[in-house]
Structure 1
């Protein structure tokens, strides 16, 4: 059997590398995807996930996460959880529960405390400064407060043919308290079936959840589509449909991998992702909408990576 891992955005790359090495050594898919997402949750420079994630309009970091076991179709999820270091790990523990496996708000936070997960203030000084600057901008310039909604999502496949999907995000920057996006919602932000494959989403949750896009990609792969065909068909048809019927469409990007280790990506914006398989070392790629409902994919350049690192770590004024 083969193995593979794919994750959303450049920010997943280090985690993809760790997951890849674990899978290469015959590690378990669930451990691999959790380690990948934990790596992103720990890194304070990523402003949309875990520690360092940007807060809601009241200055509180509310996180959403999900974990799905593709062998048993078991799902665990949390939404609006606060002060927990690894939201995805809480979601994984909840996936073992038949009842009460999706917990929100204070209930999710209380479960994490009672289960012994590491707790702490997830709002970094840098993220707080960005929030304070945005409050001032909104008041002085009458700007739309919303900005930033990049979810880390990942799919892993191990040599035993088991697959897992997971997501984690601090959600829309300056969101209203209690706002939940697609990330913890089965079928929208994620879905995986070890007999077929898996998919996860990132972008504007309010639009992604209108189409149950992750499930649709898995469904199409189950009908014989390659991951790339399934992603292209799902994303571009739905984006056009939503623009026609709802009047507008936000950012939508999805990744997928099937049970053979083949992968696919589709997006309506510039989108980076990271992937590694038995046949391919972990690499970072850029995806862009291509002609005739297809996706253009190419490796990122050294110049792009250097500019990304510079912007990521630039001091916050």
Structure 2
């Protein structure tokens, strides 16, 4: 039976491995997706998601997450949630609500507490040190405060043909209090329809939300395009249009998978992702923008992977 998972960034690879095992054993798409994203949220060395994520300008870690069921179109989302261990689980729970399915700030945090979700201090000492160092660098070196906006986005397909999509992010490092990017916004940060496929985005939310790229990729797949064709024909024309109209385009990358387990990606920066299906074991790839609005995709090297592991765990001086 067909099944599959695709996720943004190297940080999600171990989660793709776990989700693949679950999907292979018959777990449904929604539960496999939740497990996958929770694993990323729980790892303290990922600076842009969950525990260990980098805080806003005030030193507060505000997190965003969203979940969508491709069978029913049920959506749940949180934005600016604070000190809740797994925002994706709160978003998934909210998707079951007929009303009040997207909560922000204190409302999202209070809902999670009321529903019994685990409360946890999510700002690690390591993340706090990075924040303090950025504050000093801004004063002494006149640096731009903003840095880092890597959302984990995951699309899952189970053996029954059901699909789900989810996102989780601590957002832009040093963002203003209350800032929300594209990650919890339907159509922009994510979209899925089990009869077609799903897509998710990562990158600079302020620019991603200028287009409805995740929805547009799914729409193009509904017209018969492969996931790769849909990604290429959505991302690069929008990048070029945004550059022409707005003067510039921030970094963004999108992933997609259709109901057959076929996948695609497109990006305007160097971008890693992990993918697996019933015929291919979990593999990390590197994507870059290629020629003629296409995407160049190659497996990552051991040297790159070793350097990555060393970099994310390097001491904060």
Same fold (TM over 0.5): yes
| 1:102 matched residue in structure 2 | 102
CA displacement at 1:143 relative to structure 2: 1.1
**Correspondence 1:129-144 to 2 at 5 A:** 129-144=129-144
Confirm whether residue 2 of structure 1 aligns to residue 2 of structure 2: yes
The DSSP-based 3-state class of the residue aligned with 2:272 is strand
Structure 1 unaligned blocks of 5 or more: none
| 2:128 matched residue in structure 1 | 128
| 2:118 matched residue in structure 1 | 118
| 1:309 matched residue in structure 2 | 309
The DSSP-based 3-state class of the residue aligned with 1:88 is helix
**Correspondence 1:222-237 to 2 at 5 A:** 222-237=222-237
CA displacement at 1:69 relative to structure 2: 0.2
**Correspondence 1:1-317 to 2 at 5 A:** 1-317=1-317
Which segment is superposed worse, 136-145 or 249-258?
Answer: 136-145
Structure 2 unaligned blocks of 5 or more: none
CA displacement at 1:141 relative to structure 2: 1.6
CA displacement at 1:140 relative to structure 2: 1.3
CA displacement at 1:120 relative to structure 2: 1.0
CA distance in 2, matches of 1:72, 1:145: 41
CA displacement at 1:295 relative to structure 2: 0.2
CA displacement at 1:139 relative to structure 2: 1.1
Q: Deviations over 1:281-304 (max 9, x none)?
A: 001000000000000001000000
Q: Deviations over 1:79-113 (max 9, x none)?
A: 00000000000000000001000000000000000
Which segment is superposed worse, 138-147 or 235-244?
Answer: 138-147
CA displacement at 1:142 relative to structure 2: 1.4
The DSSP-based 3-state class of the residue aligned with 1:64 is strand
CA displacement at 1:16 relative to structure 2: 0.5
CA distance in 2, matches of 1:119, 1:232: 41
Q: Deviations over 1:98-134 (max 9, x none)?
A: 1000000000000000000001110000000000000
How large is the RMSD of aligned CA atoms in angstroms? 0.4
The DSSP-based 3-state class of the residue aligned with 2:149 is coil
Q: Deviations over 1:158-196 (max 9, x none)?
A: 000000000000000000000000000000000000000
CA displacement at 1:219 relative to structure 2: 0.4
Q: Any runs of at least 4 consecutive aligned residues in structure 1 with deviations exceeding 4 A, and if so which?
A: none
CA distance in 1, matches of 2:191, 2:246: 25
CA distance in 2, matches of 1:39, 1:300: 22
The DSSP-based 3-state class of the residue aligned with 2:111 is helix
CA distance in 1, matches of 2:315, 2:235: 36
